[in-house]
Amino acid sequence: MKEILAARLRQCRREKGLTQWEAAVYCDITEKAYQNYELAAREPKLGILIRISDLYGVSLDYLTGRSDEREF
């Protein structure tokens, strides 16, 4: 799951035209923490994952690879 999550985080962030720092600020985490999620070094806690999902307008299932449907 980590690799799929990391790839989809990168893809969604780039589609929105955001930097890692901007995504981190929105999610109220450090830039390093966000970088670790995109590098598949760590997995975000559920609360942070929900904020990320809201930021990108995609479902949790999409981010985690349980579905290829982006919509809620």
Q: What is the pLDDT of residue 20?
A: 98
Domain membership flag for residue 53: yes
pLDDT of 72 higher than 80:
no
Domain membership flag for residue 69: no
pLDDT tens-digit map of 10-23: 999 999 999 999 99
Number of domains within the chain: 1
Angle at the Cα of 2 from the Cα atoms of 15 and 42, rounded to 5 degrees: 95
Q: Say which CATH number the domain at 10 has.
A: 1.10.260.40
- 3-state helix/strand/coil string of 4-31: HHHHHHHHHHHHHCCCHHHHHHHHCCCH
Domain membership flag for residue 20: yes
Q: pTM here?
A: 0.92
Its domain, for residue 12, covers: 2-64
Domain membership flag for residue 71: no
Domain membership flag for residue 70: no
pLDDT of 2 higher than 90:
no
pLDDT tens-digit map of 18-53: 999 999 999 999 999 999 999 999 999 999 999 999
Give the chain's largest Cα–Cα span: 29
